[in-house]
Structure 1
Amino acid sequence: MPTSPTFIWQAPTWPGMHYDIVRVGGELARAHKAQGIIEGKLAGLGSGQRLELAAEAWSQDAVATAAIEGERIDLFAVRSSVARRLGVGNQDGPDAPRNVEGLLDIMDDAVRQRDAPLTQERLCAWQAALFPTGYSGMVRIRVGAYREHAEPMQIVSGRVGREKVHYEAPSSARVPAEMQTFLEWFNALTEHDKLVKAALAHLWFETIHPFEDGNGRIGRVLVDLVLARDSGEVSRLIRTSQRLLDKRRDYYEQLERAQHGELDVTEWVLWFVEQVRVSCEEASSAVDAALGKAMFWSSHRDKVLTARQRKVVNLLFDAGPKGFQGGMSTKKYESIGNTSRATASRELAELEDMGLLCRVGAGRSTRYYLNISGWGPADPLIAETSSDNG
């Protein structure tokens, strides 16, 4: 039998949740500054580049929010679906499964329809989109409606027979009333800062846990909705679910601690706003990389490259300063470009002569890096001693 829960829902007056604004204020200021920096940097990019950044961030965040729930989805299929939705990038990839398309539908709805009120009907449509077959795995569940089962809704972990109950949500009979209170609060013009409201909304929704399944993903889409109301389409670049996945253990611990405590949720709000701030800083780094790429190609716009050469240079860019381990070798170029060793060697030499790449090492240990300060190995001997002799 499961162990006894350490917390049972006591129907607190959730609109009365409070936090220490002095303690939270500093982190809020840093987070909003990080948001502003992203918006400022985006002004230096063209609309197509901004859409490409948004598409990649959205794709990665969709994969992350599913991964938090233990579900693995194909990033390639997600990317092609997102590309078709935004009209950018490679739109010819495979179709995503219906449940994945449903996840992308609700993430898109949260941003595009950010000013529309949040209603029971909208939330139920979101949940139904996640389970188009009416099943969660092998289990048939109630979709498009709040849960109605008589058994307590418990959040548990551990193997069968030795489960640990982390939290027990309100009974199904109380969900409609609890959700009505939540929706009235969510749609009201409150004095809360938007990042604080995102923190409170996520905590409150997860505490009610109104659906049989899908609560985590929907709760994170609510965060997307609030952030979109704060910064519009720019919010697509802020990968909060990716950050929560990276900090999954802390995420669960912070939620559990806030649900077990009283109405003072300062620690949860402080932690959540910090994660949004870090997500903004990571998005800012992605914008920096895009700006650097744009400047690089602008400085080489007079160069005539083959499609294969352009593909390899972009691949090096997308991998980042330290992302392409061991640099580009003739062997790697041959494989990536599906060409002969002689052609690979010649085209790499041409890229070096044109100033796009710089060469490190000699003979079989020759490696090429983008001709950008800081993008080569910290120690040139690294390339010479590489175990890859291609």
Structure 2
Amino acid sequence: MSWNWELRDWPSFTWQEERLRDKEQAFIENAAVSVGTLRHLSDTDRAEIVIERLSADALSTSAIEGELLDRDSIQSSLRRQLGLSGTPFRSRPAEAGIAEMMADLYRHPHLPVTEARLFDWHRMIMNGRRDLSAIGSYRRDPEPMQIVSGAYGRQHVHFEAPPSDRVPAEMGQLLDWLRRTAPGAPQALPAITRAGIAHLWFESIHPFEDGNGRVGRALAESVLALAVSSPTFCGLSKVLLRHRKAYYAQLEAASTTLAIDEWLSWVADRALESQEGADQLVSFVLEKARIMDRLRGTLNSRQEKVLLRMFEAGPEGFEGGLSASKYATITGAPPATVTRDLNDLVERGALVRTGERKSTRYHLPVPTSGARR
């Protein structure tokens, strides 16, 4: 079996444009609506949405690689990066680094992706690492760069990248293609098509010693943002995490061919799904403000603390919903008080009750990603 970079026509990918035309149009139309909506929000609501989007994607792109980061730490770093006020929070190097990259993506939607920018992103996400020989530069190890799984002796090679001595030239071709296909350029390509090819091409080269997935997804996000020409953020990684198994399978299948219709169609569906999630987040933040304004001054400190904690969990909500025992853990209230508080919140329309007895759970009365799936 040959890898795509070993094929004679590499890197001349082929696809049928008409198969993506409707999805490309839907993406641009949805983006225009999203940008328009954000412009009409208050500065506070807009800032909250930006922080939530960027932190969710930072957590997701890291989780795809099996790295679990702290949400509060990332959000604190993002607020500092974006010049927003917030409670000081000492972030670990990993959280600070991924937050810096996400902030760069958001602040500079018009900047093209260059070798220097890729190196900067790599230094950011490798912040604090001491086990790599090449940080902020292409890999140089002569040993094969392979993606493998399975126990030693029974390993399955999912992909092998080009030798390290080919990487600079391979990346030069990719970066030149990005310049030639950018919006307004002679060979300009539609947003999703360009993002899908860029991500696959980058992952096929695998130019760094580590962090290729995170930088490659940042590259795709940057391509999508440039097409919209506005500081917006699709949150593609959050959707890719939800479909992680299929994501890896699609990448693996596309790594052996230059005919990439199936890959691009799959990426297009994920891009549209990410836009739907972004719209849900806007609705969530607006509904949060409406509910808290309506209940202001009518809740006791315990009830307010729990509601705020639930809203802080974001559109995904508490996993499994809020139980009476979880309410007691958060507030320290005795059982009788917990029951009284929760019944009062339901009567006020602040929570919705589901289930019975030990299976009783409480949810915010707003649409959430978790409730839809």
Shift of the 66–373 alpha-carbon distance from structure 1 to 2, 3 Å rule, reads: closer
| Corresponding residue number in structure 2 for 1:194 | 191
- In structure 1, stretches of 5+ residues that fail to align are 379-390
Alignment of 1:315-354 (within 5 A): 315-317=309-311, 329=324, 333-339=327-333
Shift of the 326–266 alpha-carbon distance from structure 1 to 2, 3 Å rule, reads: closer
| Corresponding residue number in structure 2 for 1:21 | 17
Whole-Å Cα distance in 1 between the matches of residues 175 and 367 of structure 2?
50
Do the aligned partners of 1:240 and 1:279 also contact (CA within 8 Å) in 2? yes
| Corresponding residue number in structure 2 for 1:102 | 97
AA of the residue aligned to 1:105: E
| Corresponding residue number in structure 2 for 1:383 | none
AA of the residue aligned to 1:230: A
| Corresponding residue number in structure 2 for 1:225 | 222
Shift of the 40–308 alpha-carbon distance from structure 1 to 2, 3 Å rule, reads: farther
Do the aligned partners of 1:227 and 1:235 also contact (CA within 8 Å) in 2? no
Do the aligned partners of 2:3 and 2:160 also contact (CA within 8 Å) in 1? yes
Alignment of 1:213-292 (within 5 A): 213-231=210-228, 235-236=232-233, 238-262=234-258, 264-292=259-287
Aligned partner (choices 40, 47, 51) of residue 51 of structure 1? 47
Shift of the 345–166 alpha-carbon distance from structure 1 to 2, 3 Å rule, reads: closer
Alignment of 1:108-123 (within 5 A): 108-123=103-118
Shift of the 90–338 alpha-carbon distance from structure 1 to 2, 3 Å rule, reads: farther
SS at match of 1:217: helix
Whole-Å Cα distance in 1 between the matches of residues 61 and 270 of structure 2?
15
Whole-Å Cα distance in 2 between the matches of residues 227 and 161 of structure 1?
41
Whole-Å Cα distance in 2 between the matches of residues 131 and 373 of structure 1?
38
Indicate the larger mover: 115-124 or 34-43. 34-43
SS at match of 2:159: strand
Shift of the 178–235 alpha-carbon distance from structure 1 to 2, 3 Å rule, reads: same
Whole-Å Cα distance in 1 between the matches of residues 81 and 213 of structure 2?
24
Deviation at 1:62, TM superposition (A): 1.0
AA of the residue aligned to 2:198: A
Give deviations 1:200-223, integer Å, cap 9, x for gaps: 111111111111211111101101
Shift of the 79–132 alpha-carbon distance from structure 1 to 2, 3 Å rule, reads: closer
Do the aligned partners of 1:63 and 1:73 also contact (CA within 8 Å) in 2? yes
Give deviations 1:37-92, integer Å, cap 9, x for gaps: 43344355322112112212211211111121122222232222223334558533
Shift of the 87–349 alpha-carbon distance from structure 1 to 2, 3 Å rule, reads: farther
Alignment of 1:63-212 (within 5 A): 63-88=59-84, 91-93=87-89, 95-133=90-128, 135-136=130-131, 140-188=132-180, 189=185, 190-212=187-209
Shift of the 354–258 alpha-carbon distance from structure 1 to 2, 3 Å rule, reads: closer
Do the aligned partners of 2:62 and 2:214 also contact (CA within 8 Å) in 1? yes
Do the aligned partners of 2:145 and 2:162 also contact (CA within 8 Å) in 1? yes
AA of the residue aligned to 2:112: P
Return the TM-score normalized by structure 1.
Answer: 0.79
Deviation at 1:117, TM superposition (A): 3.2
| Corresponding residue number in structure 2 for 1:313 | 307
Do the aligned partners of 2:70 and 2:95 also contact (CA within 8 Å) in 1? no
Shift of the 131–356 alpha-carbon distance from structure 1 to 2, 3 Å rule, reads: closer
SS at match of 2:158: strand
Do the aligned partners of 2:138 and 2:207 also contact (CA within 8 Å) in 1? yes
Aligned partner (choices 7, 10, 17) of residue 3 of structure 2? 7
Do the aligned partners of 1:8 and 1:169 also contact (CA within 8 Å) in 2? no
Do the aligned partners of 1:134 and 1:142 also contact (CA within 8 Å) in 2? no
AA of the residue aligned to 1:268: W
Do the aligned partners of 1:6 and 1:165 also contact (CA within 8 Å) in 2? no
Deviation at 1:359, TM superposition (A): 8.2
Deviation at 1:151, TM superposition (A): 2.2
Shift of the 160–89 alpha-carbon distance from structure 1 to 2, 3 Å rule, reads: farther
User: Identity over the aligned pairs, expressed in percent?
Assistant: 35
Do the aligned partners of 2:352 and 2:363 also contact (CA within 8 Å) in 1? yes
AA of the residue aligned to 1:175: V
AA of the residue aligned to 1:310: E
Whole-Å Cα distance in 2 between the matches of residues 117 and 360 of structure 1?
49
Do the aligned partners of 2:113 and 2:175 also contact (CA within 8 Å) in 1? yes
Larger Rg: 1
